[in-house]
Amino acid sequence: MSTARVICAGFGGQGVMSMGQLLTYAGMLENKEVSWLPSYGPEMRGGTANCAVTVSDHEVGSPLITDDATAAILMNLPAFHKFQKDVVPGGKILVNSSLIKEKVERTDVDVYYIDANDIAAELGNPKVANMIMLGAYLGVSGTVEVDSVLEAFKKVFGERKAKFIPLNREALEKGIEATRK
């Protein structure tokens, strides 16, 4: 990996910011250069939310990702419409197909449809849909290791939430698995 420039997008409450933070902290734990730039509406839940994450072997010049994302993780339909155009040819678009029924029309990118909400329901916790999507991204990109994300989980959510690591490991693995189908 040289440089991964990832857009994570959806609505507030889907764990979009957490997904970006986990990816960023995992990169830090692997001694990579990183940046995380959040952007969200004034609403606490339900409003638009997205973040730009860069994980690189080199210094990160700018945290902005406008039309040069190597990947986009799209959790809802407005994010699907807004951000798929920002992925470079040859990049990856991961679509939460539980909530997005439309198909990517571009032919110059790799597209993965992940039933994240449905898989999360099967795991018994709808809150892990974001981890399923993050796992899918890791499965197709190899940007960071799953174990680094789980170590980062303690940094992002604190030691009190460490009891949820086994569930989140399973969610990440289910996401990786979903990209192989």
How does pLDDT run across 94-133, given as a tens digit for each residue? 999 999 999 999 999 999 999 999 999 999 999 999 999 9
The whole-number pLDDT of residue 45 equals 63
pLDDT tops 90 at residue 164: yes
Instruction: Determine the longest span between alpha carbons in the chain, in angstroms.
Output: 44
How much is the pLDDT for 33? 97
Distance from C-alpha of 146 to C-alpha of 35, rounded to nearest angstrom: 19
The reported pLDDT for the residue numbered 46 is 66
Q: Give the pLDDT confidence of 137-147 residue by residue, as tens digits.
A: 999 999 999 99
Supply the pLDDT for residue 12: 86
* 159, pLDDT greater than 80: yes
Over the stretch 32-87, which tens digit does the pLDDT of each residue have? 999 999 997 766 666 789 999 999 999 998 888 989 999 999 999 999 999 999 99
What is the structure's pLDDT at 64? 85
Scanning 65-179, the segments in alpha helix (DSSP H) are 77-83, 116-123, 129-141, 146-157, 165-178
Q: pLDDT at position 49, please?
A: 92
Lowest mean pLDDT among 47-51, 85-89, 167-171, 176-180: 47-51
Q: What is the pTM of this model?
A: 0.95
What pLDDT is stored for residue 112 in this prediction? 98
Sheet of 69-74, strand order: 33-40, 48-56, 3-11, 69-74, 87-96, 110-114
pLDDT of residue 1: 54
Q: What is the pLDDT of residue 152?
A: 96
What is the three-class DSSP state of 171? helix
